């Protein structure tokens, strides 16, 4: 197993999401850490990740399960769902260039849409699974 690819994966995800004009039209930013102060109306945040050993005779590898959150203070879920759909389209089986290693597969696993009653925001948590190998 190797955990050495996690930073390269995050960089590739961030680059993919921030370089897309269609996603930029749907959200006010893509973040790893949220900015201080007032949060944007609608944004994407790269979330937690888990990695499990998946090395084999061809080399060191790992399966990374990670989340991407789409959050909005919209009156309904539609704008947040549209942004979440774009995130999914951008990541699933995308040929993301990595600074180290490579992605064998990147698949959508599940999503959960929730409403936070404390601030009336909507959140969609997307979960993806990436199989990585160090090369």
Structure tokens at 90: 């951008």
Residues 75-93: what's their mean pLDDT? Answer: 97
* Mean local confidence (pLDDT), 70-98: 96
**Strand intervals (E) in the chain:** 30-31, 42-53, 61-72, 102-116, 121-133
pLDDT digits (tens, 9 = 90+) for 19-59: 999 999 999 999 999 989 999 999 999 999 999 987 777 77
Beta bridge partners of 47: none
Q: How confident is the model at residue 135 (pLDDT cuts 50, 70, 90)?
A: confident
Closest C-alpha among 37, 46, 41, 43 to residue 13: 46
* Backbone phi, psi, residue 52, to 5°: -130, 145
Find where tokens 């888990």 sit: 50
> Domain extents for the chain?
6-133
Pick from 14, 9, 30: which is nearest to 103 by CA? 9
Inter-CA distances, 89 with 78, 85, 131, Å: 16, 6, 18
pLDDT of residue 1: 59
Q: What is the pLDDT of residue 61?
A: 87
What is the model's pLDDT at position 54? 78
CA 118 centroid distance within chain: 25
Q: What is the pLDDT of residues 57-75, one digit of tens each?
A: 777 889 999 999 999 999 9
Average pLDDT over residues 130-134: 93
In the block, tokens 């959050």 appear at 71
Q: 6-133 in CATH: which number?
A: 3.30.2000.30
DSSP notation for 27-55: -S-EESSPPSSSPPSEEEEEEEEEEEE--
pLDDT for 59 equals 74
């Amino acid at each position: 197993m190797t955990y050495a690819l996690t930073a390269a994966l995050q960089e590739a995800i961030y680059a993919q999401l921030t370089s897309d004009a269609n996603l930029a039209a749907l959200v006010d930013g893509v973040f790893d850490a949220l900015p201080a102060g007032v949060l944007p109306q609608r944004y994407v945040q790269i979330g937690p990740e888990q990695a499990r050993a998946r090395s084999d005779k061809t080399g060191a590898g790992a399966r990374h399960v990670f989340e991407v959150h789409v959050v909005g203070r919209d009156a309904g879920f539609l704008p947040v769902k549209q942004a979440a759909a774009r995130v999914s389209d951008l990541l699933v089986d995308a040929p993301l260039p990595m600074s180290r290693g490579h992605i064998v597969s990147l698949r959508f696993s599940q999503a959960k849409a929730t409403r936070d009653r404390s601030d009336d925001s909507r959140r969609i948590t997307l979960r993806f699974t990436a199989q990585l190998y160090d090369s």
